[in-house]
C-alpha cells in the first residue's frame, strides 16, 4: 500500500476489511527522513517529507475510521518519533512532520473517543532499521556554507542509528498497546543500561479518554513533562 496515494490507501484498507470482515486496529508507520539545512531544502522536498510522514498517516486513518465507527471500537497506532517532541538540526522537516502528527493525534483522540476508538502515539528514539539507508540528502547550496556542521550532525545521527536498539523493542510496545484492555501512558526504555538510552527510548500516548479535560487529574498533567528517571524520555498523555 502506497500511503502517498489516496486510491492505494482506500483500496488497501477496503480489501483488508472485506477479507477479514472487520478492522480492529491500524498501525500507521510509513515514513522516511530528509537531511539538510532548512535554507538548502527545496519546498518540493519538504512537501514530499510531509506527504508520507503526515498526510500518509492521515489517509490511512480517514480510510479506517468509517469502519471502526460502525464497529463501535478500534485502535489507531500512529508512529511518531522523539523528533516529534524536540527539533533536530538538519532534520527540520522530518521533525516538523512528526510535530504535526502529534497535534493531529491529540485532536483526533478527542473526536473519536465517543466511538470507543483509542489513539496511540509511539515515539521511538534511534533504532537499528533501514531508516538510515533510506535517508534522502538535500543538495547543498553553492559554497556549501553548512558543510561542516551538517556533515557532523548527519554522522552522529547515522552512528546512533546504526548502533541503535533492536526495533523489536518498538514492536513489543505496539503489541502491548494492542493487547491492552485499558491502555494508559507510561515511559519505557528500550535500552536503559546504554549510555545512549535517552536516544533509544520509546514513550507512548495511550487512552484518548484521558485527553478529555474533565478526566485529567493534576498528577496526570504533571507527568506530561516529567522525564523518566531511567532514560530521560517523556511520557505523553
* Residues designated as active site: 80, 94, 98
Distances (CA, A) of 194 to 87, 138, 151, 197: 23, 31, 25, 5
72 in helix, strand or coil? coil
Residues 6+ apart with CB under 8 A from 200: 125, 126, 127, 164, 165, 189, 190, 191, 194, 231
Cβ neighbour number for residue 70 with a 10 Å cutoff? 11
How would you classify the pairing of strands 117-124 and 201-205? antiparallel
If we measure between CA atoms, which residue out of 120, 93, 108 comes closest to residue 186?
120
Q: Are 121 and 105 in contact (CB under 8 A)?
A: yes
Give the Cα separation of 120 and 122 in Å (integer): 6
- What beta strand segments (E) does 80-207 contain? 117-124, 136-137, 188-189, 201-205
Q: Are 194 and 231 in contact (CB under 8 A)?
A: no
- Cα atoms found within 13 Å of the Cα of residue 170, Cβ hemisphere only: 24
Distances (CA, A) of 45 to 29, 37, 113, 157, 193: 20, 12, 35, 20, 38
Amino acid at each position: 500500500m502506497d500511503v502517498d496515494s489516496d486510491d492505494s490507501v482506500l483500496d488497501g484498507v477496503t480489501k483488508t476489511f472485506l477479507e477479514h470482515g472487520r478492522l480492529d486496529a491500524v498501525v500507521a508507520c510509513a515514513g522516511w527522513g530528509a537531511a539538510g539545512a532548512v535554507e538548502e531544502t527545496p519546498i518540493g522536498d519538504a512537501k514530499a517529507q510531509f506527504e508520507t510522514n503526515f498526510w500518509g498517516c492521515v489517509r490511512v486513518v480517514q480510510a479506517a475510521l468509517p469502519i471502526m465507527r460502525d464497529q463501535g471500537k478500534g485502535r489507531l497506532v500512529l508512529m511518531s518519533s522523539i523528533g516529534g517532541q524536540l527539533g533536530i538540526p538538519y532534520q527540520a522537516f522530518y521533525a516538523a512532520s512528526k510535530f504535526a502528527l502529534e497535534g493531529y493525534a491529540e485532536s483526533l483522540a478527542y473526536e473519536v473517543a465517543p466511538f470507543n476508538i483509542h489513539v496511540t502515539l509511539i515515539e521511538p528514539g534511534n533504532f537499528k532499521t533501514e531508516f538510515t539507508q533510506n535517508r534522502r540528502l538535500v543538495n547543498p547550496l553553492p559554497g556549501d556554507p553548512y558543510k561542516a556542521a551538517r556533515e557532523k550532525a548527519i554522522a552522529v545521527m547515522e552512528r546512533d542509528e546504526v548502533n541503535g536498539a533492536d526495533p523489536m523493542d518498538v514492536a513489543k510496545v505496539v503489541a502491548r498497546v494492542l493487547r491492552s484492555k485499558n491502555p494508559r501512558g507510561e515511559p519505557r526504555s528500550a535500552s536503559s543500561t546504554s549510555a545512549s538510552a535517552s536516544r533509544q527510548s520509546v514513550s507512548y500516548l495511550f487512552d484518548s479518554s484521558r485527553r478529555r479535560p474533565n478526566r485529567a487529574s493534576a498528577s496526570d498533567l504533571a507527568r506530561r513533562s516529567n522525564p523518566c528517571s531511567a532514560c530521560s524520555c517523556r511520557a505523553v498523555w
